[in-house]
Amino acid sequence: MFSYVLRRVLGAIPLVFGVLTLTFFIIRLAPGDPASFFIQPGVSPKVAEQMREQYGLNDPLIIQYFKWLGNILQGDFGRSFSRHQPVFDVILEAVPITVSLALIGITMQFIFGILLGVISAIKQGTKLDRTLTVSALFIYSMPEFWLSLMLIILFSLKLGWFPASNLNSIGADSLSTFEFILDRLHHLVLPIFVLSLGGIAGLARYVRGQMLEVIRQDYIRTARAKGLSEKIVIFKHALRNALLPVVTILGGSLPALFSGALFIEVIFAIPGMGRIAVEAVFARDYPLIIANTFISGTLIVLGNLLADVLYGIVDPRIKLG
Amino acid sequence: MTHTYIRVLCLLLVLFTVACQKKDGEKSQASNALATTLVLADRSDVDNFNPIISSTLSGGNAISMIYPGITTATFDTATGILVYQPAVAKSWTISPDFKSITYNLRGDVKWTDGTPLTSHDFKFSYQLYGDTIIASARQDYLENFVKLRDKKGNPTDIVDFDKAILTPNDTTLIFNFDKPVAKHLIEFHTSLTPIPKHVWKDVKPSEFRSSELNANPTVSCGPFKFKEWKRQQEFTVVSNPDYNVPAPGKIPTITMRIIPEYTTQLTQLKTGAIDVMDGIKPEDAIKIEKENPEIDIRTVKYRTYSYLMLSNIDCKAYQEGKQIKPHPLFGTKKTRLAIAMAIDREKILDGYYFGKYAELMTSPISPAFKWAFNSDIKPYPYDPKRAKELLAEDGWKIGTDGILERDGVKFSFTLHISKGATAGEYMAPIIQQSLKELGIDCKIEVLEFNVFVEKGRKHELDASLNGLSVGLEIDLAPTFGSDLNKAAFNSAGYINKRVDELNKLAQSKLLREEAAPYWKEFQQIFHDDVPFVPMFWGSRVVGFNKRVIGENPDILSIYTDLDKWTLSTMPAQVSVK
């Protein structure tokens, strides 16, 4: 197992590096550069050129690439052009927020997705099943951006139940730790709801399909014939087997949740990695874009690796290596 | 298994329910804080808290809270002139030859660490503003300062700070210029904000932009002082009890929250979670005025305008070798005038701006600058019939497909708008329809903002809907300068030597009244030449929660007199000194 993981990790290094190199060139093909930000009314026209010189953007592209390469190989991803901080300092400020969002979101997805999927499967063909199926498809196809705005209008503006933005209330610093955490959770209800809703719907459909397939298997019929209660048949025999392929989704969900957080962080004014990525692209902040790509690329590789490893663990028929 | 799920579910539900209900329980502490905190909102974060290098509006707003001015500028709406009042400087005199200004500074102003603010802080700061490695956005303010001489005695581009800025003592600050400079420009260009020399003196220019002090300005000198900055979330300032120019800010705490999404910010304004919101769309302003009595809608006029850019020059020829040739469609003023007269701007004014959040524009000189504004010029009338005649006079004939053509060239083009520019998105289809009635084929294309700006700047767009804000002192060079390499905002490629000349003549006059005729002549030329189709002076629409008292948004800022604002929710005893 260890040598398998090691081989996969080593194999991922050139892959991530290739992605970074592509990003380096692609982002420079987009019109504008980081210095364009300084071409605005009220700003001296000389500034853009001076900054271009300082950022090294006047060098030929290939020189810029080799300079960048030299720095990357030493582990130096550079400083953000727009924030004037080392890029990893920028990202480190945002990572805990996005990771918490993603972890809570993924937990919600799995709890509710599996639960609804199982209910839908054992109640197959009933009104409840049809309602859950239609609702799941409806929610799954709803754009997150639109859903977020609708929820803000309903729950913040009309009902006043939840705040529409930011991580804490004004004056939250003066609250006790417990109250502070509750205040934080209160602010996270809407973003997490949106972040996990699509996943819950998708997962519920997936679990339902798996469950229906498993329920038809001979060993389930045998279990029932043995006189086991329906609960034990469903949750001990059927669900365990139906969950095998679901585990692989866990790995794939991680990067998807990070990219989903992108919209949610912008709409709900949450200072996470998604917002950093969006702002870095708009500001043509090359070092920050590349560092973000590095993080996302690594997550995708690790997510896939995690899925494969988990698959190997939960299904003894699969041998890794 | 089911039980476990149910237990987890119940736990989560209880947690969230408690979280929601806790709102009341927490009221005593959090709402006390809210009662004495002014909550502002911005869509983008500050870039830094350093006046030397900040180049964003958000940064400028933050800096004006925590740093002092040598003078305080106010805008006289009766004359349209910036008037400077004493601040750190108690008085000043301009030499009779208009080549020098001497400020007498108060001796009792101190930085927040107790160090006196002296003339040396100003000189030190100006040296940083002029440093090309630091690359300050305001380095042009030093344009007229005394320069170093070359061997032949001619002035170079480098400021001779030993001669340009003199500090005979702690309270005397003298600026010297190479040539006579207009009084208002002397006052404007010597009004830059200082930073504390004793804090910054050891920071090298090459490390200036990356210094931690930019994010943590613990030593400042303004009506408020810095408390904390949570990047991309909020920054907080608190009243500075020791400030005496003239007094500490009256509101104990101000928090600026960063909320990038427009709808979210609007919701927060309506729920009272934020007190001030800038940039409200006209359709929302109308609704708020009807449905939200707790919000005051205020407008600031004449700072930004929108226009239909029609390239005067052939974009392809310019790309190929910077050749200046008339644009095959918009190269003549008759055609541009025809387009101006074909667009029913009143319809847009009523439809998008509800007749009250914008005004028809006649020229790019703001009507706010009453001394320079040419009120004899009237907006182009909506006259499609005359527009057709003008096009016919210019040689355009209807082709077999119903589209105008001239010398085998179809009158067909793409109108570009920037993504997210709601006014542009509203105007474009109306313009398209108006032009269709003349036989002009207009397609609409939306571009991402950076791409839009970059292509416009490089003269790659034939037509676009643009917006610009005007500076507080008139300068035509960036927008109408004939040198297209330098004129960053002359996307139409308008070239007129007389306009260059008028700009120089007006700026060389020492008194405004002497400059006014030149600005007025420019407006007449603009009206005759139609370099672009002027659309509207859009109003900046700002929403204030009614608990805010004393707000006074004007052309300078929506936060004008912020130090004097109060909140109706503030207990009387909280009021600072």
Q: What is the DSSP string of A171-221?
A: TGGGS-HHHHHHHHHHHHHHHHHHHHHHHHHHHHHHHHHHHHHHHTSHHHH
User: What does the pLDDT average to over B243-259?
Assistant: 95
Asked whether the beta carbons of residue A271 and residue B231 sit closer than 8 angstroms, the reply is yes
Question: Is the pLDDT assigned to residue A223 strictly greater than 90?
Answer: no
SS3 B63: helix
Q: Flag whether residue B513 sits within 8 Å of chain A, measured between CB atoms.
A: no
End-to-end alpha carbon distance in chain B: 64
Instruction: Give residue B1's pLDDT.
Output: 45
Domain presence at residue B277: no
Residue in A with minimal Cα distance to B4? A111
Give burial (CB, 10 Å; 0-12/13-18/19+) of B229: buried
Interface test with A, best of B232, B451, B557 (most A CBs within 10 A): B232
Which of B207, B237, B252 corresponds to the end of one domain? B207
Q: Closest CB to B271: pick one of A41, A160, A267.
A: A160
Give the gap in angstroms from C-alpha A110 to the nearest C-alpha of chain B.
11
Q: What CATH code is carried by the domain that includes residue B162?
A: 3.90.76.10
Q: What is the mean pLDDT of residues A89-117?
A: 88
DSSP 3-state of A90: helix
| Spatial contact of B263 and A151, defined as CB atoms under 8 Å apart | no
Question: What residues in A contact B55, CB-CB < 8 Å?
Answer: 37-38, 40, 43, 47
CB contact under 8 A, A166 and B234: yes
Best-predicted range by mean pLDDT among A190-194, A216-220, B31-35? A190-194
- How much is the pLDDT for B24? 45
pLDDT band at B572; cut points 50, 70, 90: confident
Q: Give the CA diameter of chain A.
A: 85
Asked if B285 and B297 count as a contact pair (C-beta separation under 8 A), the reply is: yes
Q: pLDDT band at residue B20, thresholds of 50, 70 and 90?
A: very low
- Asked whether the beta carbons of residue B29 and residue A43 sit closer than 8 angstroms, the reply is no
Residue B122 near residue B252 (C-beta atoms within 8 A): no
- At B406, is the secondary structure helix, strand, or coil? strand
Which member of A93, A149, A279 has the closest CB to residue B263?
A: A149
Q: Do A267 and B25 touch (CB under 8 A)?
A: no
Select the residue of A44, A114, A235 nearest B139 (Cβ to Cβ): A44
Residues 6+ apart with CB under 8 A from B183: B94, B98, B510, B511
- Report the CATH number at residue B458: 3.10.105.10
Min Cα distance B287 → chain A (Å) is 14
A-contacting residues of B 48-67, CB under 8 Å?
48, 55
Contact state of A36 with B454 under an 8 Å Cβ cutoff? yes
Q: Give CA–CA dist B546/B275, Å, rounded.
A: 8
Are residues B541 and B279 in contact, defined by beta-carbon separation less than 8 angstroms?
Answer: yes
B336/B441 same-domain check: yes
CA distance A50 to chain B (A): 6
- Whether residue B30 and residue A172 make contact (CB cut-off 8 A), yes or no, is yes
Whether A232 has its CB under 8 Å from any CB of chain B: the answer is no
How many degrees, rounded to 5, is the angle at CA A272 between CA A271 and CA A273?
Answer: 135
User: Tell me, what's the pLDDT at B170?
Assistant: 97
Q: Which of residues 100-159 of A touch B (CB under 8 A)?
A: 111, 114-115, 149, 152-153, 156-157
Flag whether pLDDT at B229 surpasses 60: yes
Tell me the C-alpha distance between A268 and A163, whole Å: 9
- The DSSP code sequence of B157-184 is EEE-HHHHEEEEETTEEEEEBSS---HH
* CA-to-CA separations, B129 to A53, A215, B87, B198, B213, in angstroms, rounded: 18, 75, 21, 17, 16
Q: What is the pLDDT of residue A216?
A: 86
In this complex, the residue of A44, A152, A185 whose CB is nearest that of residue B264 is A152
Distance CA B376, CA B444 (A): 34
The nearest CA of chain A is from the CA of B215 a distance in Å of 10
Partner residue opposite B486 with nearest CB, options A45, A163, A269 = A45
Return residues 424-483 of B near A (CB < 8 Å).
449-451, 453-455, 457, 468-471, 478
Mean pLDDT of the residues in chain B: 92
Cβ-contact B306, B467 below 8 angstroms: yes
Given B263, B270, B454, which is nearest A32 (Cβ)? B454
Q: Do A175 and B453 touch (CB under 8 A)?
A: no
Give me the domain span that covers residue B82.
Answer: 57-207
Q: Is A174 within 8 Å of chain B by CB? A: yes
Partner residues linked to B446 by β-bridges: B417
Q: Does B21 contact A at CB distance below 8 Å?
A: no
**B1 and chain A in contact, CB less than 8 A:** yes
Between CA A211 and CA A220, with CA A217 as vertex, the angle to 5 degrees is 85
> A157: which chain B residues are within 8 Å (Cβ-Cβ)?
267, 270-271
> Which residue from B15, B7, B14, B36 is spatially nearest to B575, judged by alpha carbons?
B36
Residue B524 lies in a domain: yes
Q: Domain count for chain B, please give it.
A: 2
Compute the distance between CA of residue B73 and CA of residue A263 in angstroms, rounded to an integer: 41
Contact A259, A58 (CB under 8 A): no
With tokens 């698959």, the residue in question is: A311
Q: Calculate mean pLDDT across residues B398-406.
A: 94
What is the pLDDT confidence band of residue A262, given thresholds at 50, 70 and 90? confident
Chain A residues in contact with B209 by the CB 8 A cut-off are 84
User: Which residues 6+ apart lie within 8 Å of B458 measured at CB?
Assistant: B319
Q: How far is CA B40 from CA A316, B466, B545, in A?
A: 58, 28, 10
- Give domain status of residue B318, yes or no: yes
Residue owning tokens 């736990």:
B11
Q: Which fold has domain A94-314?
A: MetI-like fold (1.10.3720)
Maximum CA pair distance of chain B?
Answer: 93
Q: Are B249 and B576 in contact (CB under 8 A)?
A: yes
With CA atoms as reference, report the closest residue to B333 among B406, B405, B408, B391.
B391
A141, burial (CB in 10 Å: exposed 0-12, middle 13-18, buried 19+): exposed
pLDDT over 60 (residue B28) = no
Are B544 and B295 contacting, i.e. CB atoms less than 8 angstroms apart? yes
pLDDT (average), residues B555-569:
95
Tokens of B133: 């490695």
**pTM of the entire structure?**
0.87
Indicate which of A27, A40, A119 best probes the interface with B, i.e. most B CBs within 10 Å of its own CB.
A40
B200 and B328 fall within a common domain: no
Structure tokens at A230: 């329906």
Distance from CA of B268 to the nearest CA of A (A): 7
CA A257 to chain centre: 2
How many angstroms separate the CA atoms of B269 and B278, rounded? 10
Domain boundaries, chain A: 2-73, 94-314
Q: Which residue of A has its CA nearest to B2?
A: A235
A315 to chain B, closest Cα gap in Å: 20
Helix, strand or coil for residue B564? helix
- Residue B192's alpha-carbon distances to B123, B145, B382, B425, in angstroms, are 11, 14, 45, 38
Cβ-defined contact of A171 to B450 (cutoff 8 Å) = no
- What's residue A16's pLDDT? 87
Q: Do B55 and A275 count as a contact with CB atoms less than 8 A apart?
A: no
Residues within 8 A of B (CB atoms), A 192-221 only: none
- CA–CA min distance B226, chain A (Å): 16
State which H helix or E strand residue B212 sits in: none
Given a cut of 50, whether residue B22 has pLDDT beyond it is no
Query: What number is the ipTM of this complex?
Result: 0.81
Residue type, A62: I
How much is the pLDDT for B268?
A: 94
Q: Considering B207, B231, B246, which residue would you say is the last residue of a domain?
A: B207
**Which two structure tokens, joined as six digits, stand for B80?**
């349209």
Q: How far is it, in rounded angstroms, from Cα A125 to Cα A184?
A: 41
When comparing pLDDT for B123 and A274, which is higher? B123
Distance from CA of B4 to the nearest CA of A (A): 10
CB neighbours (10 Å) of residue B153?
6
**Does residue B186 share a domain with residue B80?**
yes
Which residues does chain B have within 8 Å of residue A164's beta carbon, measured at their own beta carbons? 264, 267-268, 271, 273
Percentage with pLDDT > 70 across chain B: 94
pLDDT-wise least confident of B232-236, B238-242, B334-338, B447-451? B447-451
pLDDT tens digits, residue range A179-207? 999 999 999 999 999 988 888 888 888 88
pLDDT digit string, tens, across residues B504-524 = 999 999 998 999 999 999 999
SS3 B79: coil
The minimum CA-CA distance between B107 and chain A, rounded to whole Å, is 32
Q: Name B180's Cβ contacts closer than 8 Å, sequence gap at least 6.
A: B97, B98, B99, B510
Is B507 in contact with B498 (CB distance < 8 Å)? no
Q: What is the rounded CA–CA span in Å between residue B375 and residue B524?
A: 10
* Distance from C-alpha of B488 to C-alpha of B398, rounded to nearest angstrom: 36
d(CA A284, CA A295): 18
Q: Is B363 on the interface with A (CB under 8 A)?
A: no
Q: Alpha helices of B148-281 — where are they, by DSSP H?
A: 161-164, 183-189, 197-200, 205-208, 262-271
Per-residue model confidence (pLDDT) at position A242: 83
Query: Phi, psi (5° rounding) for residue B571?
Result: -65, 150
Determine whether the interchain pair A40/B136 forms a contact, defined as Cβ–Cβ distance below 8 Å. Answer: no
Spatial separation of the C-alpha atoms in residues B230 and B213, rounded to whole Å: 15
Report whether A201 contacts A139 (CB < 8 A). Answer: yes
pLDDT number for residue A274: 85
In this model, does residue B383 exceed pLDDT 80? Answer: yes
Taking the CA of residue B452 and the nearest CA in chain A, the distance in Å comes to 9
Instruction: Show residues of chain A in contact with B44, CB under 8 Å.
Output: 279
Please give the full DSSP string across B265-276, using - where no structure is assigned.
Answer: HHHHHHHTS-SE
pLDDT band, very low/low/confident/very high, at B4 (cuts 50, 70, 90): low
Residue to substitute from B9, B17, B47, B55, interface A, most A β-carbons within 10 A: B55
Q: Do A271 and B1 touch (CB under 8 A)?
A: no
What do you get for the CA distance between the two ends of chain A, in Å? 7
Provide the chain A residues 76-95 that lie in CB contact (below 8 A) with chain B: 79, 82-85, 93-94
